[in-house]
Amino acid sequence: MIVTPTTVANAGTGDPVGRDPHTFLKRYFGYDQFRPMQEAIIRSVVGGRDTVVLMPTGGGKSVCFQIPALMLPGITVVVSPLIALMKDQVEGLTLNGIPAAFLNSTQSSREQRKIEDDCIKGRLKLLYTSPEKLLSESFYIFLKQLNISLFAIDEAHCISSWGHDFRPEYTQLNVLRQNFPEVPMVALTATADKLTRQDIASRLGMIDPEVFVASFNRPNLSLQVLPGINRLQQIVRLLQLKPDTSGIIYCLSRKSTESLAAKLQEKGLMAGFYHAGMSNTERSMVQEMFLKDDIRIMCATIAFGMGIDKSNVRWVIHYNMPKNMEGFYQEIGRAGRDGSPADTVLFYSFADVATYKEMLNDAKPANLGVQLAKLERIQQYADANTCRRRILLSYFSEELTDPCGNCDVCRNPRITFDATVLAQKALSAIVRTGERVPMNLLIDILRGSRSQMVLQYGYDKVKTYGVGKDLKFEDWRNYLHQLINVGVIEIAYDQHYALKKGILGDAVLFEGRKIELVRPEDVTKPVVEKARTRTQQTKDDLYARLDVLRKAVAGEQNVPPYVIFTDTTLEDMARQRPTTPDGLRNVSGVGERKLQLFGRRFLDVIVEYVRGQAKDGGSTRGSTQVLTLELFQRGLTIEAIAAERNLTTITVIGHLFALKNAGYDLPLEDLVTPQERAEIEQAIGLVKPENNALKPVYEHLGGRFSYDAIRITMGLMES
């Protein structure tokens, strides 16, 4: 059975083990609601069904096996391809109060024996390991000693030769079904077409699996394609608009990652590089720096990012066009995993297409035709003059009925014009120069330049010299790139990048073929940000203080800051401004374990901030109780506090009991004598007032005790 976002709404809600997954979600992860399809997947897994999960990066795949691991009686074994992924998830689980560990080649024999002993004695709920280790004979003997409730195969597309990231060792994971036929499996991936999904289930030996296909739409990601010219200047301009944010720039070669990082560093930006040619130590170090926000910009090959769970990546830039839609989707999916807005930018040049085609033709893979077809689809995405999200989603067989409104085409609809004459001018110049000149020299000829090269080779004498002087140099570059992309012109890379007629060249020159091009966008147009309101300024100021504390706590715990609390959780804290543990518990992403470990320190920052706002005469959420608390701690009586703050004494008493019930140590029992309290409690017991009404008790006591004393006694009885 295949479950989609449409059908999941009709799925049953019976809990196979009689426990509600929502309880685990709130207690351990601090969230009130599941993301789309998560609950249905969890119920399938806990019900013992083999399950295949296709869910976009950032959609919450991990929760789909982590919560079942908590609900099921034994241990869940998770197969993961990367050490970084294991380490990242285990750190997060541990801080959430979930016993988990990983086993891999980086650990000593003593460390591994300790973890194995914990597994055998039932102390762990999740064990992460690599496919290589899982397939060893000694590990099989170890697994046979465990009470295994579930196998979770993460990044499952690696098992399929049809997938974009095939790994041979994954194909041997069918031994799990052979050796543990009664243990259910869940296979999870962010990118897999229909063929790959079928291959995953078949190779794992799954029995009638339930297949969940979540929506690939990530509406928080903006999509943009820019011409592959002046890339460095464009990147610097983009990053200047996003100071103090983290992002990834994907490059095609190892050399380009290093050179781009160096150029960005020269511009004063916190950039590093990552590629497969570095040593394990170097890669681990730079990755750790990125995770901990010590490096904000990572220039990397596609070797970087798989399994990286950094939630606060605010942008992803592709310096070169990826070779297929699966890889592109997975890479942009590393942005905005916390659900907050994030930007994705693709620089597109036909040179990238030609490079990939050359690499494929040289390698001659068995599925060459499939790879070329995939390359063509990503090229169509880059060339699009209609909603890019529609094109992206259609590749994964998902329909978007309306334009997304969050891609560059939707925000700035393309204005096309008849560029046939322009194309003919360019083609004529190419032909008249013998199809020997590269792009920049051709533009000089078209614009009537008196450059040394033009004069040296006599190009100022050709008939088309100067016919394009009405256009700027950069506009000509843009138009020539478009003409290359549509096949009117092509680049001869083996002939010093000379421009030649493309497959449509003769049709445009001699057969009346019409060409439509898009006018160049003004990429230097400044982005005007709205002025921040006082509320937004206040929120930002508090967020900054909370962020400083988060980084300090992360340093103490030796984990990345987002593992303590995500940016989204910090933003919710700054918005709600809770001043009590119960209030902090209502912040999205604050689970019980983190509340116990760090809650008081974050509350102290918020309380101090709110107190300062109140002193300055500002009215902020939570400030009224905090100001009452401060006056009470200074020794003022209830009457004095009420007079100072222009409140009723009953309101002040309400503040104090709210603070006491929230965990503040306030000696409120000293506000009435033991004799007064005993007599009032006796009267309350006799009168039994509805809704804690004060007047019936006051009248029963003949007015001998004040309303305040009665309210205080009621509060003490309740607390």
Residue 185's CATH number: 3.40.50.300
Predicted confidence at residue 525, as pLDDT, reads 42
Residues 395 and 460 in one domain: no
User: Are residues 48 and 76 part of one domain?
Assistant: yes
In the DSSP assignment, the letter for residue 412 is S
Place of tokens 């100067």: 466
Counting residues of the chain whose pLDDT is more than 90, the rounded percentage is 49
**Two structure tokens written together for 658:** 């709210």
- Specify the number of domains making up the chain: 4
Residue 632 has φ and ψ, to the nearest 5°, of -65, -40
Q: Both ends of the chain: CA-CA distance in Å?
A: 53
pLDDT digits (tens, 9 = 90+) for 146-166: 999 999 999 888 887 555 556
Domain boundary among 183, 213, 243: 213
Closest CA to 711 of 686, 685, 681, 666: 681
CA distance 256 to 189: 29
The rounded distance, in Å, linking the Cα atoms of 166 and 164 is 6
Nearest Cα to Cα of residue 104 among 128, 138, 136, 140:
128
Question: 159: closest CA among 86, 79, 96, 230?
Answer: 79
The answer as to whether 61 is a domain residue is: yes
Residues 206 and 226 in one domain: no
One domain for residues 131 and 160: yes
Q: Is 569 inside any structural domain?
A: no
Reference 164, options 172, 156, 173; nearest CA is 156
Question: Are 8 and 151 in a shared domain?
Answer: yes
273 three-state secondary structure? strand
Q: Are 210 and 50 in contact (CB under 8 A)?
A: yes
Token pair 């592959």 is found at 228
476: Cβ contacts below 8 Å, ≥ 6 apart = 443, 446, 447, 468
Interatomic CA distance for residues 498 and 492, integer angstroms? 5
645/511 same-domain check: no
Q: Is residue 650 part of a domain?
A: yes
Within a domain: residue 111? Answer: yes
Query: What's the pLDDT at 615?
Result: 63
pTM: 0.70
Residue bearing tokens 């000694």: 138
Look at residue 420 and tell me if it is in a domain: yes
For residues 366 and 475, membership in a common domain is answered with no
Angle 242-247-252 from CA coordinates, rounded to 5°: 125
In Å, what is the CA distance from 268 to each residue of 79, 264, 271, 289?
A: 40, 7, 9, 17
Are 184 and 52 in the same domain? Answer: yes
Type and span of the H or E element at 127: strand 126-129
In this structure, are residues 235 and 264 in contact, taking their beta carbons and an 8 Å threshold? yes
Whether residue 533 lies inside any domain: the answer is no
Question: Does residue 228 sit in the same domain as residue 206?
Answer: no
Distance CA 612, CA 626 (A): 10
Tokens read off for 622: 């939570």
Whether residues 253 and 193 share a domain: the answer is: no
Query: CA-CA distance, 607 to 600, in Å (whole number)?
Result: 10
544 within domain boundaries: no
Q: Are residues 230 and 350 in the same domain?
A: yes
Query: Do 350 and 487 fall within a single domain?
Result: no
Q: Which residues in the chain come in under a pLDDT of 50?
A: 8-18, 522-535
Domain boundary among 213, 244, 265: 213
Q: Give the contacts of 608 (CB within 8 A, at least 6 positions apart).
A: none
Contacts of 584 (CB under 8 A, 6+ apart): 573, 578, 590, 595, 599, 602, 603
The reported pLDDT for the residue numbered 346 is: 96
Domain that holds residue 183: 2-213
Encoded tokens for 30: 């601090």
What is residue 694's three-state secondary structure?
coil
At which of 409, 437, 472 does a domain end?
A: 409
Span 217-248, pLDDT tens digits: 999 999 999 988 889 999 999 998 888 899 99
Q: Does residue 474 sit within a domain?
A: yes
SS3 664: coil
CATH number of the domain enclosing 426? 1.10.10.10
